[in-house]
Structure 1
Amino acid sequence: MARLRRSFRLSVDSRLLSPPAILAFVYGIFILLGAALLWLPISNNGTVTFGDALFTAASAVTVTGLVVVDTGSAYALLGQIIIAVLIQLGGLGLMTFAVLLLSMLGIAVALPQRIVLRDEVGQVSLSELGALVRIVFIVAAICQTLGTAVLMFVFVPEFGWSHGFWQALFHAISAFNNAGFSLFSDSLSGYVCSPTINITISLMFIIGGLGFIVLIDLFRVRSWHRLALHSKLMLVGTGALILAGWIGFALMEWSNPNTLAGLDSFGAKLLASWFQAVTPRTAGFNTLDYAQMHDGTTIMTMTLMIIGGGPTSTAGGIKVTTLIVLALATVAFLQQRDRLHIFGRSLAMEEIIKVLALVALSLFIILTGLFLMSLTYQGDFLDLLFEVASAFGTVGLSRGATAELDTFGRMVIIMIMFIGRLGPLTLGFLLATRASPRVRYPEGKVLLG
């Protein structure tokens, strides 16, 4: 036991073993391990290549949901179980699982591992990480158990007890972790008019996308005035984005015969509009064909995919709080104010600079990925941009371009999904140096805008 404890105490003093580097290394190892397991003959139907398995494993660990082969038919039950495990590991965090396992074994978690865990869950303090890990697993277990139980009311009558239970469990895991993987070839299109499927699945990925810090705050405080600033921003921002997406999708697609106009009832149209409005926030499920939607709806969907969910959640994207701080900074600049104020609090300049860096890095990654993929992809440009935005936001929605990519295009998508899961700032911290400047220069003026 002592030897195991000593072997786990990694040094994070050097740049190569910094917390971002360790996170990237661990996620990369699990992607390769998952690919090897999915490539085994007992895990698939014999038509899956290693490239297919690698893409699926990367998509599962990064909880994206983009696929190049049909999950339900290409992979056997063992392969589907492996995908579900990879989704769970990637959604809740690999270091979170490691810390919980070590705690169960009675092995003390050293400071270096706490620093890595802090980076993964997006915290600034080391004091309550153990309690946070336990709460993360409790919340995940309760939500996925309840989700499975509700979904069984739909899937068990249709598929029988054993198959119906597995369908319910797989989709509950995928939904809560915002993965978007489905065992149906058309995602959830066959259940477009099912209130049980639409409401249960959407509530699960909305809860998972809020972030565990918000859920803990709501449980402990239960009063709006006493909520932390982060929780207030997430709740208001999430509600506003859902409402705007719901109304926007309904207005733009109501008369489209290939989407909403093809449904029979007013209630079905509202339900489908709701689901398509909330799923781009990194969930990846769909009940309508995104390839048949108007260009305006597609652009709105890409915007929602890039925004994503909340920090310390199972969602991706630049995050809702980033968008809010960016908007507040813009308003403050236009009003010539030097401080940002929201809900009786002010934000430090460090937070604003962090937001600007995150947005700049995100745009750079999206544009670079789009350029690289356009070198070999010959299809529609909007479809390609949609796939890149989906990969960066770890969403999983597709207009069909992913399945048509060559090996180079697939590798680019894998890298974008990988960066999107870790976060652009994690990549920036990994590449950045911390050398202090030895020479200070006088301030200068630069004309901007």
Structure 2
Amino acid sequence: MVRSRMRLSNLQIVALGYFLVILTGTLLLMLPISTQEGQPPTSVLDALFTAVSASCVTGLVVVDTGTHWTLFGQLVILGLIQIGGLGFMTISLGFLLLMRKRIGLRHREVMVESINSMQIGGVVRLTRKILYGTLLFEGLGALFLAIRFIPQFGWKQGAYFSVFHSISAFCNAGFDLFGNYNSIVAYADDALVNFTLMGLITMGGLGFLVWEDLWQKKWSFRHLRLQTKIVLSTSFALTVGGGFLLLMLERNNLNVDMSNSERLLTAFFQSCTARTAGFNSVDPGAMTSGSKMLMMLLMFIGGSPGSTAGGIKTTTLMVILMYTLAGVRHARSANIFGRRLEEDALHKAIYVFFVNLIFVILGTIAICSVQNLELTDVLFEAFSAMGTVGISTGITRELEVFSRLVIIFLMYCGRVGSISFAVALMERKAVPPVTMPLEKITIG
């Protein structure tokens, strides 16, 4: 009886797993070996904030990653990024496969929950593909980045920088080692670095289920699953559309002294990285209000289900848009790519949209209630944390204890999933359904 009561649900295991990863990372980052000589000792709050940011693949930092942490500390952060990006269940299942251990049904069920798979069959095979695909993409990314970094930093440091930033980009984390909180501003006009990072960010943000479908259907768009078609078309539209809008919004601001090629590069890079990656090639704090608003929108949407990215996801956006369009047209159903969307998808999409939005608004209000900061900057920070993006207008280091705890909470919810977090806390056995009396109300 006691064991059955103590049995955790799949969602609770996922939430608890991330909590234990964060706790371990915090303890490791608090060790003296993690902090550079000459730097002040790392406080519990700074270690916790960094561990949450890394394991939730966000990228917001309160201390400079390249100058505050030793090699050991940076490797701890890199490990947290990799675990957070793939999911601790994927990593643990990978170790079991490596040791040739039997994978039980319970482990498979939690893995399905972790990667948002729609079926339990073939989840072990999918995990192998995830691990091999991750190794392939991160390896290729490191090789391309090495072309630039090894001549600049030497073999040892250049190779290390290449691997670190490749993993950080693929996992949509946004941590960098260049110092002074400048991200990749020094490489704003470097096509090799920009396109490599954009490629890694995009592949990581598409989702593992999309990879599998593309592999099985030989990249034939006509034969792809509906989810894959929605993910690919929405991701393309957001990145390209966001890039052109940023190009227009910054034409008389950040783009004034840039060449045409640099304008295009920075605009499309920022559009791509705003979808939960966290790198920036220009100063977000110097952007126009319109650009900041657009960036918040892109951060809120994020990547795709079962990916290394956060946000409400591209499928959530499209379901809400399609049902809205169907309502305007008085259509009987919402259709896309010759398929009808189920109503349960709309219900879940609405939950995800509003719970995420409510968390952002409440977090913003909470921070503004204790600190006198610009509302736009606080809202930008909250969207960045909830979307596990990591782009900041520069106020992260100005946040006081309570404000940092709010951002930590938003980052955690953003990675675990706001709905999953709420369900994990309040989940209980189902009660017999009761239908209440119907009464109509007016809408709109």
Q: Name the TM-score, length of structure 2 as normaliser.
A: 0.96
Aligned counterparts of 2:174 and 2:418: Cα–Cα separation in 1: 21
**Once the 2 structures are TM-superposed, how far is the Cα of residue 262 of structure 1 from its aligned partner?**
2.9
Matches within 5 A, 1:379-390: 379-390=373-384
Kindly provide the CA deviation profile for residues 10-60 of structure 1, in whole angstroms up to 9, marking residues without a partner as x.
x8x658611111111111111111011111111112422221111101000
Q: Give the aligned partner of residue 233 of structure 1.
A: 230
Give the alignment partner of residue 51 of structure 1, picking from 45, 49, 58: 45
Q: Give the aligned partner of residue 8 of structure 2.
A: 17
Matches within 5 A, 1:25-424: 25-45=16-36, 46-47=39-40, 48-184=42-178, 185=180, 186-221=182-217, 222-256=219-253, 259-263=254-258, 265-424=259-418
Which amino acid in the other structure matches residue 171 of structure 2? N
Which amino acid in the other structure matches residue 442 of structure 1? P
Aligned counterparts of 1:271 and 1:104: Cα–Cα separation in 2: 41
Q: Give the aligned partner of residue 436 of structure 1.
A: 431
Higher mean displacement: 108-117 or 357-366: 108-117
Aligned counterparts of 1:191 and 1:101: Cα–Cα separation in 2: 37
Aligned counterparts of 1:58 and 1:165: Cα–Cα separation in 2: 26
Kindly provide the CA deviation profile for residues 265-305 of structure 1, in whole angstroms up to 9, marking residues without a partner as x.
21111111111111100010001000001000000000000
Aligned counterparts of 2:210 and 2:234: Cα–Cα separation in 1: 13
Does the 8 Å contact 2:301/2:314 carry over to 1?
A: yes
**Once the 2 structures are TM-superposed, how far is the Cα of residue 429 of structure 1 from its aligned partner?**
2.3
> CA 1:428–1:335 in structure 2 vs 1: closer, same or farther (change >3 Å)?
farther
Which amino acid in the other structure matches residue 20 of structure 2? I
> CA 1:14–1:295 in structure 2 vs 1: closer, same or farther (change >3 Å)?
farther
> CA 1:438–1:191 in structure 2 vs 1: closer, same or farther (change >3 Å)?
closer
Task: Determine what percentage of the aligned residue pairs are the same residue.
Answer: 38
Aligned counterparts of 1:337 and 1:113: Cα–Cα separation in 2: 42
Q: Which ranges of structure 1 fall in alignment gaps of 5 or more residues?
A: 1-10
Give the alignment partner of residue 443 of structure 2, picking from 439, 445, 448: 448
> CA 1:159–1:350 in structure 2 vs 1: closer, same or farther (change >3 Å)?
same
**Once the 2 structures are TM-superposed, how far is the Cα of residue 171 of structure 1 from its aligned partner?**
0.3
Aligned counterparts of 2:442 and 2:79: Cα–Cα separation in 1: 52
Aligned counterparts of 1:439 and 1:182: Cα–Cα separation in 2: 53
Q: Give the aligned partner of residue 7 of structure 1.
A: none
Aligned counterparts of 2:174 and 2:434: Cα–Cα separation in 1: 51
Which amino acid in the other structure matches residue 378 of structure 2? L
SS in 2 for 1:232: helix
Does the 8 Å contact 2:141/2:200 carry over to 1?
A: yes
Which amino acid in the other structure matches residue 193 of structure 2? I
SS in 1 for 2:421: helix
Does the 8 Å contact 2:52/2:412 carry over to 1?
A: yes
